A and B are shown apart, each in its own frame.
Chain A
Amino acid sequence: MTMTTEVHLHHDDPDTVGSRERFGVALLIVADIAFVFSLVFTYTYLRFLNTDGAWMPEGMVAAAPGETWLVTGAMILGLVVFALGARDLKAGKQPKFRRAAWIALVLSIIALVLQIQQMRNFNFSLGEKGYFAGTYSSSMMTLAGANAFHLTLTAIITLGMANRARLGKYNEPTSWQPRLATYWWLWVTISAVVVGLMTTFLVASPSLPSMGT
């Protein structure tokens, strides 16, 4: 129960708020790490298990790693540009951050488009009933979908950053806000690199078909 009184809002100083928000964002990233870990575990577990020899059924063509790395490359570039921009902002160079945010936004959108294009290019024949053929294709499509989801969120966050930078919302004392976005950029890029390495070098199953269920 709350009583009605004359109140005015108390405001904490930007450093305190920044420290708090960095911690909170880090925890949300931990939750996302656990989710991505589950998908990575799924890929490696099913690849190792190779139930009924259906990890990669005969005749299935693996996804071309080049496309994966094209997406990841765009993300790495976006991260570098955004992080350098955030560093410039901390040094008081607002116009540089503004430019960097817009470039990073374009790169995140390019990466998203490339990711969707890769998903359309996957040559995973759907069976007669509409099912994916094998768990490799299921896992690849899911990992690509998760990356597309990451990139959509990244694009929205970067759009907000770029627009707010355009409106002059960021300066040295509030430079912790772009740094928060850098944490997110860093994490989604790391997850793309990990998934890229995994899906490039761990494709064929090392196991004979098992009867595991």
Chain B
Amino acid sequence: MRRLNIITAIVFGLIGTIAAHYLATIIFVMPVLEGDAEAPSGLVWLLENRIAFTTMFGWVVGFMIGIGAFSGPVRWVLGKDLTDEEALFLAGKDQGIGRYFRFTTDHKVVGIQYLVITMVLLGVGGTLAMLIRTNLMTPDSAFLGPTTYNTLVGMHGIIMIVATIIMITGPFGNFILPIMIGARDMAFPRLNALSFWLIASVVPVLLSVPFIGGMPTGWTAYNPLADQAPIGMDGFAFTIIVFAISSAVAGANITTTAVKMRTRGMTWTRTPIFVFGVVASVGLAIPAFPTFMAAQVLSGLDRGVGTTFYDASGGGSGWLYANLFWLMGHPEVYVILIPALAALLELTPVFTRRPLFSFKAAVVAISGIVGLSILVWAHHMYISGWAPKLGGPFMLTTEIISIPTGLLFLVFIGTMWRGRIWTRLPMMAVYAMLWNFVIGGITGVYLSDIPADEAMHGSMFVTAHFHYTLMGAALTGTMGALVYWFPKMTGRMFDERLGKWGFWIAQVGFNVTFLGMFMVGFAGQPRRVFNYSEVFATGNFISTMGAYTIGIGMLIFMYVVISSWSRGAIASSNPWKAKTLEWQVPTPVPLENFDVLPIITSDPYGYGRPSPDLAATDQAPKEGASL
């Protein structure tokens, strides 16, 4: 256990890869070669996919053995429970920077690990976006070949989806949430580390997709097209399966922590809104993501075992895939969006010095969005021909979901109204999010409407709409959350002077890019096209220039993150004078967060009210102190 780290994980992963590859060849291919007749091409195809899946499985299992993920379960079966000393080692005690490269159970280490992997994924996905936009700068560009273009579009999509799903609940849900509720760790520390390392193990598989044939389907991986795609598609399906397992594990862990481990006195009405947002997100993912996983398992079986779930000639149906996919696909939007909005709701009272306006309305709005989000999936299938009679009900549920979303806007505006706003970078993220999300939200109402959707479905308008939602609202919210919690997580202040430049350059670039995209989409340009008509040239050129501007802004922002982390000004324990618990503990945060657990006697947003609490003293709580 003590010798295992990322190096042993990679070594074991490579051994697992090679062993699985040869084993699969012996088991699956040798019997066929022994026959006299030449194997039919269909069978060769199945065998190729079978070997690919087995090889990827070998990598992940080997990697997880090498990082030490199976040590706990094996010791449990053998009845050799961890001693306190071993548990402290697993928690990363006295291991310096090495703890970030091990199967470390401390939630703060896992939070930082998630933050780094999220930034890496966003960087890769963003680079792919630059390549895509470069190709689309002129109507008949040959910068990328059509096959490469399709693969990069799909890769950009899935990388960004994975990154944005984990970008709040991973770093901040792990690092901040347990401290915020007055807990010493997560409910299941080993599952916590497991959820991270599962993602870390499968990222190389995902990134290998372009090198093993690519994927022509976009991130939705629609069947039966995916059934006919090269082996790269196996990499996609395998990634989703592992990611869904990781999400279920993380979801169970975070939800249990929030529900069962809140400190004494922290009733639901005294629980910070960020906790509600994170729980809503991971709680929604628990039932939603397994359907996506099932869709990919069936796709993998079609490709590797010879089932015919999506093959119409064998009794299958593409509609089956579409249903399973979108049963996850639409809730997934809210899995991404809700925690980002909740993070901004959390920081808005801090910078307006006012209580959160109508806390209960915010909770009702989040609950309403979660409830309705599982009843809207078929609006993605209006023109697929599936169940036309259900179009009306799905249009209704989709349009109704704008009501709780609108309620959240009211909470933001109500909190800011007549407040003495302290306009720091996190608060700027609130302004930017409100602007972007109004555009993203209203264009979503158009698309929920069947007649409008029939005209705009599959166009660049849709692409612009969901980027306004996922990037304009969720990613912007994450940038605000990062700056807000940066001092607590790194012990250093974020350099806002340069950071503001990066942030606003990216925001301007974002609006230029996607307003241009609305323009060409409204004029009829389809998405996922390699070349396009001359009539869309101006809009696309504008979008590409905007995308480069985003790239410049994001590079500046990333530089500021890295430079502030390494040599920023040392942060005090509560630089924002905030009232939630994470700001009441020392920075750096001790291993178990609290020596004595605090007792909560008031809500976390009591700004402007006389309070006996210690929030403004910049001191760690004394033993038994009430907060």
Contact = CB atoms under 8 A, between A and B. Distances in A.
Interface of A: 1-5, 7-10, 19-21, 23-25, 27-28, 30-35, 37-39, 41-42, 45-46, 49-55, 57, 126-139, 141-142, 156, 159-160, 163-164, 166-167, 169, 212-213
A46 B315 contact: yes
B609 interface: no
A35 B293 contact: yes
Contacts of A163: 77-79
Given A20-B256, A28-B252, A132-B314, A4 B93 contact: yes
30 contacts: A1-B490, A3-B586, A3-B588, A3-B590, A5-B590, A7-B88, A7-B591, A23-B255, A23-B259, A24-B252, A27-B256, A28-B249, A31-B286, A32-B290, A34-B287, A37-B291, A42-B320, A45-B317, A46-B320, A51-B316, A57-B315, A127-B306, A131-B314, A132-B314, A138-B301, A138-B314, A142-B297, A142-B307, A164-B76, A212-B317
A51 B42 contact: no
A50 B312 CA distance: 10
B291 A34 contact: yes
A39 B289 CA distance: 14
A41 B4 CA distance: 42
Given A31-B248, A34-B290, A135-B314, 15 more contacts: A2-B109, A27-B255, A38-B291, A38-B324, A42-B294, A42-B324, A49-B317, A129-B46, A131-B306, A138-B309, A138-B314, A141-B307, A164-B76, A166-B79, A213-B317
A99 B323 CA distance: 46
Contact of B489 (A1, A35, A41): A1
Closest 10 CB pairs of A and B: A129-B42, A54-B315, A38-B294, A138-B307, A135-B315, A31-B248, A27-B252, A35-B290, A34-B290, A130-B43
Contacts of A9: 84, 87-88, 592
Contacts of A53: 315
A2 B294 contact: no
Contacts of A51: 312, 315-317
A131 B310 CA distance: 12
B354 interface: no
B587 A1 contact: yes
B79 A167 contact: yes
B313 A156 contact: no
A132 B307 contact: yes
Nearest to B589: A2
Contact of B253 (A24, A35, A133, A159): A24
B495 to A, nearest CB: 17
A31 B290 contact: yes
Nearest to A9: B84
Nearest to B306: A131
A180 to B, nearest CB: 12
B251 A31 contact: yes
B533 interface: no
B37 to A, nearest CB: 11
B84 A8 contact: yes
B187 A20 contact: yes
A130 B46 contact: yes
B94 interface: yes
A51 B319 CA distance: 11
Contacts of A136: 315
Contacts of A5: 590-591
B108 interface: yes
B162 interface: no
Contact of B93 (A7, A23, A30): A7
Contacts of B289: 31, 34
A28 B327 CA distance: 19
B77 A2 contact: no
B188 interface: yes
Contacts of B184: 10
B85 to A, nearest CB: 9
A129 B43 contact: yes
Contacts of A10: 184, 592
Contacts of A41: 323-324
Contacts of B308: 54, 131-132, 134-135, 138
B286 A30 contact: yes
Nearest to A38: B294
A28 B588 CA distance: 33
B260 A23 contact: yes
B320 A19 contact: no
A41 to B, nearest CB: 8
A5 to B, nearest CB: 6
Given A20-B256, A131-B306, A138-B307, A27 B286 contact: yes
Given A5-B590, A23-B256, A32-B290, A129 B316 contact: no
Contacts of A35: 290-291, 293-294
Nearest to A50: B315
A53 B316 CA distance: 10
B40 interface: yes
B261 interface: yes
A127 to B, nearest CB: 8
Given A31-B287, A132-B306, A52 B79 contact: no
A156 to B, nearest CB: 7
B320 to A, nearest CB: 6
Interface string B64-93: 000000000100111101001001100011
B234 interface: no
B320 A1 contact: no
B121 interface: no
A127 B490 CA distance: 60
B330 to A, nearest CB: 15
A2 B589 CA distance: 5
A178 B8 CA distance: 34
Contacts of B290: 31-32, 34-35, 38
Quick one: which of B109, B256, B323 has the most chain A CB within 10 A? B256
Nearest to B40: A129
Contacts of A54: 308, 313-315
A45 to B, nearest CB: 6
A20 B261 contact: yes
Nearest to A27: B252
A19 B256 CA distance: 10
Contact of B317 (A23, A46, A127, A169): A46
Nearest to B224: A213
Contact of B589 (A1, A46, A167): A1
Contacts of B320: 42, 45-46, 49
A31 to B, nearest CB: 4
Contacts of B256: 20, 23-24, 27
Interface in B566-608: 586-592
Nearest to B314: A54
A31 B312 CA distance: 29
B491 interface: yes
A45 B318 CA distance: 12
B79 A2 contact: no
B315 A169 contact: no
B332 interface: no
Contact of B306 (A28, A34, A130, A139): A130
A46 to B, nearest CB: 6
Contacts of B188: 21, 24
A73 to B, nearest CB: 27
Interface in B252-304: 252-253, 255-256, 259-261, 286-291, 293-295, 297-298, 301
